[in-house]
Amino acid sequence: MADPLPEALGPLLREARARLVAAGVGDPALDARLIVEHFSGTTRTQAIADPERTIDSNAIAAIDAALGRRAGGEPVHRILGYREFYGLRLSLSPETLEPRPDTETLVEAVLPFVKAMAAREGTCRILDLGTGTGAIALALLSAVPAATATGVDISAGALATAARNAGELGLGRRFTTVQSDWFEKVSGRYHVIAANPPYIPTRDIGNLQDEVRDFDPRLALDGGVDGLNPYRIIAVEAARFLEAESRIAVEIGHTQRDEVTDIFKAAGYASVAALRDLGGNDRVLVFQWG
């Protein structure tokens, strides 16, 4: 097959959008723009000011391949290889959950405590369980220069991605990784334990949106029979890793507030806060030991 010919940016964007519309993609205009900009090295401003700008054949071929993947159901940020989270660009890998805006609620929930602890103690030690891309830990480190964080994950591939993200963001000296099944190989004590654990009941995995079910790692989704197993583990085991004044913050499924609160209260924790995400759904619970 002959190599694709160079093409003007404006028509290229229109064709990309039409292709995704035909494929039934949910937000075809945005996804087409993200793909074209990424693989052509152009910006939205350039598309408006200079729609006749020529895009070379190599970029056209890369865009064509990416559009094919998106039309086939692959999430756009998986295709791009990164996603923005809390103002940070985080690389993705097959072993990592794609960080989503709802999880920024967890960062906001503990950030004032992290700042206050760092101001008082000179540091704030954070343990990020199931760190994935490192999103939660790295967002907190970016906002609090005196803080340090340990990212824990059972997946070596996820930890490699998190470490790479930390290095690219200039946060590598304050971020360490531990490959561990929850607390199994964790040591030390922390002021904050944060987690966005798997919380989907096993029976519900098959009913998830295709882009989640088919492309997010199952390890990061499946929370056991009732979706609550990780919370039970954290509630039972976390206390020996906590400083005297400390917080645990967990993301939850939008129907799990009462059950997760009961699990932590039964283990001796007091409820400090419950926060909703931008959609108004219960999303984050914060607890204090004792």
Assigned domain for 31 exists: yes
Q: Assign 3-state DSSP to the chain and report helix, strand, coil percentages, each to 5.
A: 45, 20, 30
Per the structure, the complete domain to which residue 22 belongs is given by: 7-79
Does the pLDDT of residue 205 top 90, yes or no?
no
Assigned domain for 2 exists: no
Q: What pLDDT sits at residue 261? A: 97
Question: Can you say which residues are annotated as belonging to the binding site for substrate?
Answer: 196-199
Mean pLDDT in the chain? Answer: 93
Give the strand pairing for 190-195 and 175-179. Answer: unpaired
Single residue among 79, 101, 118 that ends a domain in this structure: 79
Does the pLDDT of residue 141 top 60, yes or no?
yes
Assigned domain for 105 exists: yes
Q: Please tell me whether residues 111 and 248 are part of one structural domain.
A: yes
Task: Sort residue 151 into left (φ over 0), alpha (ψ -120 to 50) or beta.
Answer: beta
* 107-126 mean pLDDT: 97
Q: CA angle, 248 as apex, 126 and 267 as ends, to 5°? A: 135
Digit-coded pLDDT (tens) for 215-240: 777 777 767 888 899 999 999 999 99
Does the pLDDT of residue 136 top 80, yes or no?
yes
Q: Please tell me whether residues 115 and 254 are part of one structural domain.
A: yes
Assigned domain for 163 exists: yes
Could you tell me the pLDDT band of residue 70, with boundaries at 50, 70 and 90? very high
Digit-coded pLDDT (tens) for 81-111: 999 999 999 999 999 989 999 999 999 999 9
Q: Kindly report the CATH number assigned to the domain that includes residue 14.
A: 1.10.8.10
Assigned domain for 17 exists: yes
Considering just the CA atoms, what is the radius of gyration of the chain in Å? 21
**Share of residues in the chain with pLDDT > 90 (%):** 83
Rounded distance, CA 265 to CA 289, Å? 9
* 238-256 mean pLDDT: 95
Question: Can you say which residues are annotated as belonging to the binding site?
Answer: 130-134, 153, 182, 196-199
**Share of residues in the chain with pLDDT > 70 (%):** 98
* 62-71 mean pLDDT: 95
Q: Please tell me whether residues 72 and 112 are part of one structural domain.
A: no
Single residue among 79, 114, 132 that ends a domain in this structure: 79
Q: What pLDDT sits at residue 3? A: 60
Q: Please tell me whether residues 182 and 262 are part of one structural domain.
A: yes
* 200-229 mean pLDDT: 80
Q: Please tell me whether residues 73 and 104 are part of one structural domain.
A: no
Q: What pLDDT sits at residue 1? A: 44
Assigned domain for 113 exists: yes
Q: Please tell me whether residues 26 and 50 are part of one structural domain.
A: yes
User: What residues contact residue 194 under an 8 Å CB cut-off, 6+ apart?
Assistant: 106, 110, 126, 127, 128, 129, 136, 137, 140, 248, 249, 250
Single residue among 64, 79, 94 that ends a domain in this structure: 79
Q: What pLDDT sits at residue 207? A: 80
Q: How many domains does the chain have?
A: 2
Q: Please tell me whether residues 136 and 182 are part of one structural domain.
A: yes
Distance between the two ends of the chain, CA-based, in angstroms?
Answer: 68
Q: Please tell me whether residues 173 and 53 are part of one structural domain.
A: no
Q: What pLDDT sits at residue 290? A: 65
Q: Please tell me whether residues 57 and 167 are part of one structural domain.
A: no
Assigned domain for 260 exists: yes
Q: Please tell me whether residues 119 and 210 are part of one structural domain.
A: yes
Q: Please tell me whether residues 50 and 108 are part of one structural domain.
A: no
Assigned domain for 35 exists: yes
Q: Please tell me whether residues 107 and 25 are part of one structural domain.
A: no
* φ and ψ at residue 238, rounded to 5 degrees: -70, -30
* 70-89 mean pLDDT: 95
Could you tell me the pLDDT band of residue 132, with boundaries at 50, 70 and 90? very high
Q: Kindly report the CATH number assigned to the domain that includes residue 157.
A: 3.40.50.150
